[in-house]
Amino acid sequence: LSKTVPADELFEESKKADALSKLKSLEENADFDFEIRGVKFGGGSRMKVLAEIMDAHKPAASVLIAKAKRFIESGADIVDLGFGFDAAPEDVVRTFESLESLRGSHPRTLFSVDTQNPALIKAALPYADIVLSLHDGNMGETAGAVAARDLAAVIVPHDRPLSENIAEARHAGIRKIIADTLIQPVGSGLTESAAECLHAREGGIDCPLFFGAGNVTELIDADSVGVNALLAGIAKEAGASVIFTSEHSDKTFGSVAEMRRAVDMMTLMTDRPYPKDLGLGLFKIKEKRRRITPPPEYERSVIVPEGDPDGDLTYDPRGNVRICIEDGLIVAVHKGCAFRGKNWYDIFEALLKDDRVSLMSHAAYLGKELYKAELALRYNRSFDQDGEF
């Protein structure tokens, strides 16, 4: 045991290390249906997280690279580049080529093209590892070229059933096939479409399955962390090999990391009936167990009356401090000088050392607002000085 780290924290860290080691061992020893550049798909291998960047051709190259890098660092196995019908083939080429350096530094990260436009699919073939989505409306123009490069393809139903489109893809020579039964959002058939994925094997589909969780998370006004955990569990029970997620909206920022953690939890559930007590969890705000701290000792207590919110304020003679968050940092501006950092106390201490605070009441106020700004950064929320968190 440690003399400085509480025993419960020490045990949690030990359990986490064991869980990560087990994940690595399970994946190394898992069987699979096929591999793409050393990444296993299907069989007993872990579900792979596919993270979509919608309209990948629109942001500046630096913005696109930063987003793709963040997705990779968040645990995405596949970065999916989506192209709408307003994109041109040269946009596809430019977008993939802008990510070449990132691909070189992350050789085990796969890249997919996500479009139904045959011309855009063809433009992506020299660069992509996986093609989303092939069906009877575009395979006639693309399947042969996909097969010639031995790329993987996600097959979806269109005017014909999924099984018939899979048969056509195989006839064209595509060997690495992933079947997407098309998961629907809540209110549009989530339960029925999840059941279709669950029973796909009974319908004769014998290839790895694709589970599109992203639309479900995007189209419900609820914290994404719990939604993603539950969707990963449903995908696990359905036998999915790839799970799709996205971060199109502010409310789903962080979904890639959440989904990867959820997938890891489901992978660790091999010898357990439930995804709990695994060494890894997805708690962001709530606690699994409340910490017990001894009550303070005191000789007398004072009931403090509520202050008057409309009462007069005493302003600091040194001047006011404007607080905001910018580019992932807390910014405190005083008389034209901006103090920037990630830790609230570091900024507070810098203000004190620079003799920019003279009243205790102002110091207490700044501590509250600076810490509120730090929490806003931690939980990716907006920050409004003097507003509620």
Pairwise CA distance, residues 127 & 113, whole Å: 9
Domain CATH number, residue 257: 3.20.20.20
Helix axes 255-268 and 7-29, enclosed angle (nearest 10): 80
Band the pLDDT of 313: cuts 50, 70, 90: confident
Q: Where are any strands of DSSP class E within the chain?
A: 34-36, 39-41, 48-53, 78-82, 110-114, 130-134, 152-155, 177-180, 209-212, 240-246, 322-326, 329-334, 337-341
Q: Domain boundary residue among 209, 242, 271? A: 271
Band the pLDDT of 293: cuts 50, 70, 90: confident
Band the pLDDT of 291: cuts 50, 70, 90: confident
Whether 295 is covered by a domain: the verdict is: no
Give yes or no: residues 161 and 76 share one domain: yes
Give yes or no: residues 145 and 247 share one domain: yes
Give yes or no: residues 342 and 209 share one domain: no
Convert the pLDDT of each residue in 200-225 to its tens digit.
999 899 999 999 999 999 999 999 99
Pairwise CA distance, residues 146 & 20, whole Å: 36
What size, in residues, is the chain?
A: 389
Tokens read off for 82? 């989506």
Whether 25 is covered by a domain: the verdict is: yes
Look at residue 307 in the predicted model and tell me its pLDDT: 85
Convert the pLDDT of each residue in 262-277 to its tens digit.
999 999 998 889 999 9
Tokens read off for 92? 């596809």
Q: Environment class of residue 87 by beta-carbon count within 10 Å: exposed (0-12), middle (13-18) or buried (19+)?
A: buried
Whether 291 is covered by a domain: the verdict is: no
Mean pLDDT value across the chain = 95
Whether 24 is covered by a domain: the verdict is: yes
Whether 294 is covered by a domain: the verdict is: no
The number of folded domains in the chain is: 2
Look at residue 95 in the predicted model and tell me its pLDDT: 98
Min mean pLDDT across 104-108, 135-139, 270-274, 310-314 is at: 310-314
The set of residues, in sequence order, having a beta carbon less than 8 Å from that of 280 and lying 6+ positions away, is 16, 19, 20, 261, 264, 265, 268
Give yes or no: residues 334 and 245 share one domain: no
The backbone torsions φ and ψ at residue 363, rounded to the nearest 5 degrees and listed phi first, read -60, -45
* Residue range of the domain that includes 256: 7-271
Give yes or no: residues 150 and 226 share one domain: yes
Convert the pLDDT of each residue in 339-386 to its tens digit.
999 999 999 999 999 999 999 999 999 999 999 999 999 999 999 999
Helix axes 61-73 and 89-98, enclosed angle (nearest 10): 60
Give yes or no: residues 209 and 350 share one domain: no
